Structure 1
Amino acid sequence: MVRLVVLFLTAVLLVSVAQTGARTRWAYTTHYDYIDVDQVLKNSRLYTKYFECLMGQGKCTPEAKELRDKLPEALQTNCAMCSERQANESHKVIRFLIQQRPEDFRMLEAKYDPSGLYMKRYEEEIKLNATST
């Protein structure tokens, strides 16, 4: 379950991420940082749309598509190209998934990290996030 949280956290983090042509200190633009992650998590319809896009089961908004496209890279790099706000929001999403949507977390993990390679890297961080709630 902890592994799923890390995966989904990274996914939500990337909801507010899109790559720009001009590189800044990080590789992902802050263009979508205005998205209220709390609102997405609290609104079943919005949450479902993002989740379905990530799972390849539904239509994607531009920001959800960007998230889906960048998620594998963010997992590989431990979100090294994320802004501070994006990293903070991803932690929030991980806690939400662990506590509120564990089945969704398992599905995302199966899709984006079937071998558990990335989750091993994030285990300590996940444990810390799970206990800091």
Structure 2
Amino acid sequence: MRSWLVLVLAVVVSCSAQHYNRYDNFNADSIIQNDRVLLAYYKCVMDKGPCTKDGKNFKRVLPETLSTACGRCSAMQKLVVRKLLLGIRSKSEPRFLELLDKYDPERSNREALYNFLVTGN
């Protein structure tokens, strides 16, 4: 259940190729498997706890990542982001929706985001 939290954070880190190339080889599985780390990242991006440097970076790029359906992500980043979002969704649909509602409250990009999750494009 906490694994989806790390997934969200990993998504943010994985995005924005021009700014976060160092995350191209990001190991999302290691975060997903560590409930403590996952929960800490989730609390950070949801404004429910303190943030690490990476957490702050995730939080900063998450709105653009969700609003563009990872439009500025590299091919590798798209794979990671998609994996993380699908993992979060499978662990907790209500928390997944809570995250989307926080960063896309008008639901202006839900169709494109869901299409990205299905197709990877």
Q: Which has the higher contact order (CA 8 A, sep 6+)?
A: 1
TM-score normalised by the chain length of structure 1 = 0.72
2:12 to 11, 14, 24: 14
Divergent runs of 4+, >6 A:
none
Q: Which runs of 5+ in 1 are unaligned?
A: 20-25
* Aligned residue number for residue 96 of structure 1: 87
1:41 to 26, 32, 39: 32
Which whole-Å CA distance do the structure 1 matches of 2:109 and 2:27 have between them?
27
Identity of aligned residues (%): 27
Match runs of 1:1-133 below 5 Å = 11-16=9-14, 26-128=17-119
Q: Secondary structure at the residue paired with 2:51?
A: coil
Across the aligned residues of Structure 1 and Structure 2, the Cα RMSD in angstroms comes to 2.5
Which whole-Å CA distance do the structure 1 matches of 2:111 and 2:80 have between them?
21
8 Å Cα contact 1:54-1:68 kept in structure 2? yes
- 1:7-59 Cα offsets, whole Å, 9 max, x none, are x9775322245x7xxxxxx4222223454210111110011011111101111
8 Å Cα contact 2:41-2:51 kept in structure 1? yes
**Higher-Rg member (1/2):** 1
State the 1:121 CA deviation. 2.1
Which whole-Å CA distance do the structure 1 matches of 2:7 and 2:31 have between them?
13
Which whole-Å CA distance do the structure 2 matches of 1:87 and 1:16 have between them?
8
- 1:74-123 Cα offsets, whole Å, 9 max, x none, are 22333222222211101111221121122220210221112211112223
State the 1:128 CA deviation. 4.3
Given residue 40 of structure 2, which amino acid in structure 1 is its aligned partner? K
8 Å Cα contact 1:10-1:74 kept in structure 2? no
Which whole-Å CA distance do the structure 1 matches of 2:118 and 2:24 have between them?
26
TM-score normalised by the chain length of structure 2 = 0.79
